[in-house]
Amino acid sequence: MATGPGRYDDLCTYVREQAEAKGAILIIIGGNKGEGFECQLDNLTMARMPELLEGIAAQIRKDMEGMGHG
């Protein structure tokens, strides 16, 4: 979840700690607890996430079009 713990908070924490990272974003598709999104970031980074994710989405669309999937 973007705020507060969700279904995969424990897994996101584990990954962040194992990577010795300041933050982590975890997207689960078809997981054993269903679909999920976890986000552990400071407020400044969280505020930048919509712009960063929109850039990622645009790149995925571009890549998929180049593969004939768009």
Taking only the tens place, the pLDDT of each residue in 3-14 is: 678 899 999 999
Domain ranges of the chain: 9-66
- What span, in angstroms and rounded, lies between the C-alpha atoms of 25 and 6? 12
| Residues 31 and 12: beta-carbon distance below 8 Å | no
Q: What percent of the chain has pLDDT over 90?
A: 84
pLDDT at 70: 63
Structure pTM? 0.73
